[in-house]
């Protein structure tokens, strides 16, 4: 059996061992974070560290906590993160808002970390969101 510390380099504040087993099984799933950060406080600081991450495991490695994942994908009035596993029809307009905000960020910022992978994730998720 693989040790949890072997799954992700624990260089950030996020600890994969705090994630429920259901998330461990989707650690390699793509995720898209809102690139324009309107959060405040500690959660804003963490989002700045992981917003360019493209998988759940990368996000955790860069500081995303389990609570960040739960709140960013489902519990807040603004969606800050979306993955294929979290798509819900009633949140479609919020997902499209995230996509539109990220498209504007990409247009205004020609270079940033993981740009190509983020665009690929965005296109994949956009297709799935439009099918909701």
Burial of 87 (0-12, 13-18, 19+ CB in 10 A): middle
Structure confidence at residue 5 as a pLDDT band (50, 70, 90): very low
**Separation CA 59–CA 8 (nearest Å):** 10
Tokens for 127, please give them: 């297709």
What's this model's pTM, rounded to 2 decimal places?
A: 0.82
Q: Tell me, what's the pLDDT at 7?
A: 38
**Separation CA 83–CA 57 (nearest Å):** 12
Q: Which helix (H) or strand (E) holds 31?
A: strand 31-33
- pLDDT, one tens digit per residue, over 47-79 is 999 999 999 989 988 888 888 888 999 888 889
């Amino acid at each position: 059996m693989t040790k949890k510390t072997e799954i992700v380099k624990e260089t950030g504040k996020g600890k994969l061992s705090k994630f429920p087993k259901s998330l461990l099984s989707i650690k390699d799933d793509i995720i898209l974070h809102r690139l324009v950060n309107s959060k405040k406080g500690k959660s804003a600081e963490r989002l700045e560290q992981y917003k360019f991450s493209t998988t759940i495991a990368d996000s955790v490695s860069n500081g995303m906590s389990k609570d960040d994942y739960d709140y960013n994908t489902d519990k807040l009035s603004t969606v800050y993160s979306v993955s294929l596993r979290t798509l819900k029809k009633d949140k479609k307009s919020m997902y499209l808002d995230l996509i539109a905000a990220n498209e504007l960020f990409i247009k205004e910022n020609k270079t940033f970390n993981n740009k190509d992978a983020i665009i690929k994730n965005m296109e994949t998720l956009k297709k799935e969101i439009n099918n909701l």
